Amino acid sequence: MINPIVSANELVKTYSKGLIALNNISMVVNKKEVLVVMGPSGSGKSTLIRTFNGLESFDSGELEVVGITIGTDPEDRKVREIRKRVGMVFQQFNLFPHLSILENITLAPIQVQRKNRIEAEDHAMELLSQMGIEKQAKKYPIQLSGGEQQRVAIARSLAVNPELLLFDEPTSALDPERVNEVLDAMRKLAQDGMTMVVVTHEVSFAKEVADRVVFMDSGKIIETSSPNVFFNNAKEERSRKFLNQIIK
């Protein structure tokens, strides 16, 4: 049996004011799978995927990511080992504004993976042309549109050859006409067999690309279904209510 890339068992996380952000979450992400996470705002989606690369800690439960187990009080070294092998794309792009596009992408390969500069730059240019923005390599983040910045962010996280990519609402901060260029890039990644966990409200993307959809509410996983079941015939009342709200 092949081990899953992420396996979470009874994860619980409480924020300081007694707010339960993760309530007994158990789930797996398998290799080459695209898992879409949906749910109303504040349901704990971000918190969940941020525990996967150690940006958030948790209070109890078990978590194994890319074969590394992290506990409730993980060592820095272990967390960093995971982060080197797991990429993350944020809602707000979070590019480094003082570095050019090319430097944004090559910094981690050069400094973290100790690749030589020429090799790293070649790889970066390859990724940029895969994203359709190789012409922007010399520019700075503020000179790019949101959609382009997000594609740079994707290229940046791909530059370290991750085994898993986490997306936290990658298109929510974009102008509507810019959403598809980013989703297209993600579709391509899925076709190439990248393992991805995507928090998104993009129904058409989920229908088309997801292998499974996880629906969360109030820190709990309410339902895990294939997209076909989830969007046409959801098992749970709460899922149907949520879908009614986002698909008018």
Partner 1 sequence: MAILLMKKINKLINNVKRTMFTSSLDTFISLFITSILFVCTVKLSKWFFLKANWTVVEENIPLFLFGVFPADQRWRPSLWLIILISLVVLTLFTPSWSFFRKLLPFAWIAVIPIGIALLAGGIGLSPVASRYWGGLTLTIFLMMSSLFLAFPFGIILAFGRQSKLQLIKYFCSIYIETLRAIPLISILFFGQLLIPLFLPVEIEINRVLRSIIAFTLFVSAYIAEDIRGGLQAIPKSQIEAAKSLGFNTFQITRFILLPQVLQIALPALTNQAVGLLQNTSLMSILGLVELLGISRSLLANPKFIGQYMEVYVWLAAIYWFICTIMALVAQNIERKTTLVKLI
**Binding interface with partner 1 (CB under 8 A):** 53-55, 76, 80, 83-84, 86-88, 90, 92, 94-98, 107-108, 111-112, 140-143, 153, 156-157, 160
The residues pairing with 13 across neighbouring beta strands, listed in sequence order, are 22
The binder of 67, among Mg ion, partner 1, ligand ADP, none, by C-beta within 5 to 8 A per type, is: none
Out of Mg ion, ligand ADP, partner 1, none, what residue 42 binds, judged by CB under 5 to 8 A for its kind, is ligand ADP
Burial of 132 (0-12, 13-18, 19+ CB in 10 A): middle
DSSP element (H, E) containing 150: helix 146-158
* Residue 94 binding result from partner 1, Mg ion, ligand ADP, none, given CB thresholds of 5 to 8 Å by partner type: partner 1
- Of ligand ADP, partner 1, Mg ion, none, which one sits near residue 87, judging by CB under 5 to 8 A according to partner kind? partner 1
Contact between 171 and Mg ion per CB under 5 A: no
Site for Mg ion in 42-71 (CB under 5 A): 46
Q: Which of 193, 191, 187, 121 is nearest to 159 (CA)?
A: 121
Tell how far CA 29 is from the center of its chain: 12
The nearer residue to partner 1, 2 or 142, going by C-beta atoms, is 142
Nearest alpha-carbon partner for 230 in 26, 9, 35 = 35
E strand or H helix at 88: strand 86-89
Least distance (Å) between residue 156 CB and partner 1: 7
Supply the minimum distance, in Å, between the C-beta of residue 143 and partner 1.
Answer: 8
Binding letters toward ligand ADP, positions 35-74, x by CB under 6 A = ----x-xxxxxxx---------------------------
The tokens describing 61, both together, are: 């439960």
Whole-angstrom CA distances from 72 to 11, 12, 14, 63, 64 are 10, 10, 12, 9, 12
Give least dist CB 221 to ligand ADP, A. Answer: 12
The number of beta carbons lying within 10 Å of the beta carbon of residue 117 is 10
Query: Under the rule (CB under 5 A), what is the footprint of Mg ion?
Result: 46
Query: Under the rule (CB under 6 A), what is the footprint of ligand ADP?
Result: 15, 19, 21, 39, 41-47
